[in-house]
Copies of this chain bind each other. A is one copy, B any other.
Amino acid sequence: MEQLEKAVEQPLLEECEASCHGTEADLRTIRAQMLDEPSIAEMAEWFKALGDPTRVKLIGALLQQELCVHDLSVLLEMGQSAVSHQLRYLRNVRMVKRRKVGKTVYYSLDDAHIAEIFHVTYEHLKHK
């Protein structure tokens, strides 16, 4: 019990020879190749944005073409407010951009890579 619940306060890697694994020597190497914190945060934020059914639907629809809030609301069968909130979310992470024409606002994808990531993932899930 107790063991490494406080891993944080250890010298880290220095006294790890006493542990369970067969990789003692090169935890340091692995660590050196790990992503830095900012990159990790960005990755997570990006995936999280796609990690919700409503947002997946929005992206999926916009993958086809630019659409206004109202149409998205109809397509998703959701209230205008909910759709608007999620569009703001997607806008904040720069997955989506908007274009105003009179009183209506058209949304479209703001990133070429989304399609790629989306498709790779979809194909993956299909062949599994």
A10 to B76, CA, bound (A): 12
The number of residues on chain A lying at the interface, defined by a beta carbon within 8 Å of a beta carbon of chain B, is: 68
A51 to B56, CA, bound (A): 13
Q: Say whether A51 contacts B57, CB under 8 Å.
A: no
Please, which residues of chain B bring their CB within 8 A of the CB of A8?
77-78
- Interface residue A92 (Cβ < 8 Å from any Cβ of B): no
A99 to chain B, nearest CB (A): 12
A7 to B57, CA, bound (A): 16
Question: Interface digits, A27-63 against B, CB 8 Å rule (1 contact, 0 not)?
Answer: 1001101110001111111111111110111001100
Closest to A81 in B: B5
